[in-house]
Amino acid sequence: MKSLICQTLTVFRKETVAAARFKGAWLTMLMFSLTALSLTSFVFKGTATDSAILSAIYWIIIFFSAMTSVDRLFMEEEFSGTIQMLKVYGGAIPILFGKMLYGFLLLLILSIIITFLFVLLFDGNIPLENAVFFFANLILGVFGLSAAGAFLAALSASAKVKSGLFAVLMLPVMLPVLLPVTEVTTKIFEGVAFGVSALIPALLYDLVLMLASSLLFDYIWYDDL
């Protein structure tokens, strides 16, 4: 367990150092989200609009921001030839978890920036009294998106036919987490009272995803099993 954590953190640190030096991936995410936010703000002109629409816009921006970066997590390793080094010298699970952790923290930071800009641009339209629920829901949703994205990216990189596989699998895999988190966000925007139980579907999705990844990733990563 100790070595799994240590190796996971080693992969996470490598990803962070590489991202700090090659800014392309996270700058693309940031620019995409800023463009989408500006556009929606101009279209709605800051006027009050339906909570469900606001919630959908919010999660669409986070979803597509995630998609601009998570597919690179393994594809770049495949194209640059480092994937075989990882396969020989690393274990499957720490590599997946390290990349998931990096993808999660990157997307979480971006989502927090998006949230503050969203509140600022739609000032007065979003009651955020229930901040703890909002951020708990955000963390669960962002974790689900980044973890599922990393898993699908690994699957696509290992597949013999890569073209379009990530995009095709994305919808059925990510919809189960996007639907509950969008629903909770809508309720928060509406100011409707709800219990912790509303967060359970996203939490379950994240737990099942982690469990499935731990059990299946060895079979995806290595051809000999």
Partner 1 sequence: MEIIFENVSLSFPDKTIFSSLNINLSPGKIIQVVGENGSGKSTFLNLAAHLIRPTSGKVMAFCGKKELNGEAYRKKIAMLSPNMQLYDNLTAKENLKFFSKLRGESLDCNEIAKLWERVGLREENVRHKYAGKLSTGMSQRVKFAVFLAAKADVWILDEPSANLDDKGRSMIIKETKKATQNGALALWATNDERERNAADEIIDLSNIDRVS
CA 172 to chain centre: 15
Q: Which of 1, 45, 88, 195 binds partner 1 (CB under 8 A)?
A: 88
224 lies in the binding site for partner 1 (CB under 8 A) = yes
197 lies in the binding site for partner 1 (CB under 8 A) = no
The residues, any chain, with a CB within 8 Å of residue 207's CB and separated by 6 or more, are none
5 lies in the binding site for partner 1 (CB under 8 A) = no
10 Å CB burial of residue 48 (0-12, 13-18, 19+) is: exposed
72 lies in the binding site for partner 1 (CB under 8 A) = no
Nearer to partner 1, 161 or 193 (CB): 161
As given in the structure block, the two tokens for residue 89 are 């010298």
Going by C-alpha positions, the residue among 135, 112, 131, 141 that lies closest to residue 204 is 141
CA angle 29, 35, 38 (to 5 degrees): 135
- Whole-number minimum distance, CB 85 to partner 1, in Å? 5
Binding mask 8-27 for partner 1 (x = CB under 8 A): --xx--x--xx--xx-----
Residues forming contacts to partner 1 in the complex (CB under 8 A) are: 3, 6-7, 10-11, 14, 17-18, 21-22, 80-82, 84-92, 94-95, 218, 222-225
